[in-house]
Amino acid sequence: MRKRAIRLRPVMLTMAVLAVAVALLPVGYLAIRTAEAGWDKIAAELFTVRIVRLAVTTVSLTAVVTAGCLVLAVGSAFLVVRSDLPARRLFAVLAVLPLAIPTYVAGFAWRSTFDGFEGFWAAALVLVLCSYPYAFLPVAAALVNADPAQEEVSLALGRTPWQTFTGVTLGQIRPAIAGGGLLVALYVLSDFGAVSTLRADTFTRAVFVAFDLGFDRTGALVLSTALLLLALVVLVAENATRTVGARHASLRGSRRPPTLIGLGRARWPVAVLLTATACLSLGVTAVSLVRRFAEGVSRPRGWAEVAEALGNSVVLSAAGTVLTMGLALPIGLLVARGPGRTARLLDRLTYISHALPGLVVGLSLVFFGINVAYPIYQTPWLLALGYAALFLPLGVAATAAAAAQSPPVLEQVAASLGRSPLTVLRTVTIPLLAPGLGAGAALVFLACMKELPATLLLRPTGTDTLATSLWRSTSVAAYAAAAPYAGLLVALSTIPPLVLAARAGVLQKPRKRNRS
């Protein structure tokens, strides 16, 4: 058989394999270290009642938080996008802002606000409140883009609005729900902040305890391997919910914006309910931070240092974002343009390390830096690579979604007009993907800004970011000194969610349906 005509694919494939290799660095590291541990040690760590207990807690927490996030996300997204809720755009912003709050900050705030607030359900609540935007964003975007004609057909056939919602609307946005659920589930598996401050005994907490407890690296890494297996289960489960075949956006005409559903008498009570959610997800942390700042007398060592930390945060996160999106682009394009077993496998592989705690990913990069890439060890480049290994799935998901929105026929037209594959990439593919890539970049940037354990391990010596400065101050109870860093971190982190909300279309002015 002769070679295929489109020559860009082998290049893309090579780049995608390279990107996956980066994402799999931690897996390779764990394989090496786990093998070193020896069978006896592995058996001693794994075949215990404790592991069963940890697994049950981890799985339950993941399930509860994912379910909670999906209910909250789908509910609020539907209200914000499809109902005549007052101040819809404000609620849209409030629904994405929790992304700006690191779970270690939120856990600490809840803990110090409510006496005895700890354990499984406490951690579950804080995790739901912190991570439901991961599901809200794709679901809201899908609702904005869903074809209202299908719902109208359903209503015309005599289905009630509720039957239409469950039978038609949920079906339309199912891929978004599955994708959002996957991100939330993997996030919960990897989260350390909430489970450690609120004491929920999950694998991740056990991994950190193992490091603390007698500096038991091997034990910690064996536990991490067990965590990887759980991540695989989640990935397979999500895969099972997917329908076959990528759908491309239709080119025909301009789509009608969705019509709004009148809430009637429920309008204000629903608004109050959403306000209460925002108070829980944002208010508790905000009040607690302000109070800490007011009570303490410690202060940062000078605004120059705060400014420097801010600058470092922006630069390092930006470097991480550029690298992550650069690596994500070929995978996302492959998934959207050449759906097949290879592309699918490469895509899934990037998700695996997403479930690993930052500390383990950080250590794997230390291992890589010391043994393979010594010249870039403790430089911004290795840290950027660490961010890429941690957050690649966020970029891949955004790129693939954006690529699916831009029909491949446009690229063929461009080629037929005499433009080379690279020119087509530059003048058609990338510009069309730009908003989607921007949204992915915003999400990755945000994640890099908040990341702490891997940053501590990989940053250039003497470089402080907002997150490390925050950690530095809180670790010696200098909460007031920490406040400006926390404030700046949260303030800066609110920009990406706003970009994301705008991208999802939930900030657009709605068209109101006449109520009759």
For other proteins, the binding residues in 241-280 under the rule CB under 8 A are 251-254
User: Can you tell me the distance from the alpha carbon of 380 to that of 376, in angstroms, rounded to the nearest whole number?
Assistant: 8
By CB under 8 A, is residue 367 in contact with other proteins?
yes
Q: Is 391 in the site for other proteins (CB under 8 A)?
A: no
Is 302 a binding residue for other proteins by CB under 8 A? The answer is: no
- From residue 11 to residue 50, what is the string marking binding to other proteins with x (rule CB under 8 A)? ---------------------------------------x
The verdict on 236 binding other proteins (CB under 8 A) reads no
Residue 165 sits in the site that holds other proteins (CB under 8 A): no
Q: Is 511 helix (H, G, I), strand (E, B) or coil?
A: strand
- Quote the CA–CA distance of 317 and 325 in Å, as a whole number: 12
Plot region of 3 (φ>0 → left; ψ -120 to 50 → alpha; else → beta): beta
Residue 340 contacts other proteins per CB under 8 A: no
CB of 454 to other proteins, least distance (A): 10
192 binds other proteins (CB under 8 A): no
Residue among 168 and 227 whose Cβ is closer to other proteins: 227
| Interacting residues with other proteins between 43 and 82 (CB under 8 A) | 50, 53-54, 57
The rounded distance, in Å, linking the Cα atoms of 423 and 274 is: 47
Under the binding rule (CB under 8 A), the answer on residue 201 touching other proteins is yes
Among 164, 277, 468, 493, binds other proteins (CB under 8 A): 468
**Residues of this chain, 395-424, that bind other proteins according to CB under 8 A:** 407, 409-410, 412-421, 423-424
Minimum CB–partner distance for residue 217 and other proteins (Å) = 5
Integer Cα distance of 320 and 43 in angstroms: 37
For residues 212 and 276, which CB has a smaller minimum distance to other proteins in the complex?
212
For the beta carbon of residue 233, count every other beta carbon within 10 angstroms: 13
33 vs 450 by CB, closer to other proteins: 33
514 near other proteins, judged by CB under 8 A: no
Paired tokens of 154: 């359903």
Q: Please, how many CA atoms are within 13 Å of residue 281, restricted to the half-sphere of its CB?
A: 26
Separation of alpha carbons 394 and 180, rounded Å: 10
**To which residue do tokens 């020119």 refer?**
423
370 binds other proteins (CB under 8 A): yes
Answer for which of 3, 247, 265, 341 binds other proteins (CB under 8 A) is 3
Per CB under 8 A, does 434 bind other proteins?
Answer: yes
Question: What amino acid is encoded at 207 in this protein?
Answer: V
Total interface residues for other proteins by CB under 8 A: 111
Name which of 132 and 208 has its Cβ closer to other proteins.
208
Asked if residue 494 binds other proteins (CB under 8 A), the reply is no
CA distance 59 to 231: 10
Residue type, 257: P
Under DSSP, is residue 83 helix (H, G, I), strand (E, B) or coil? strand
Q: How far is the CA of 446 from the CAs of 116, 425, 468, in angstroms?
A: 31, 27, 15
Amino acid at 441: A
Identify the CA nearest to 71 among candidates 352, 356, 266, 273: 273
x-marked contacts with other proteins along 118-157 as a string, rule CB under 8 A? ----------------------------------------
Least distance CB 469 / other proteins (angstroms): 9
Encoded tokens for 89: 């755009």
Could you say which of 28, 296, 338, 487 contacts other proteins (CB under 8 A)? 296
Cα gap 219→53, rounded to integer Å: 16
4 touching other proteins, by CB under 8 A? yes
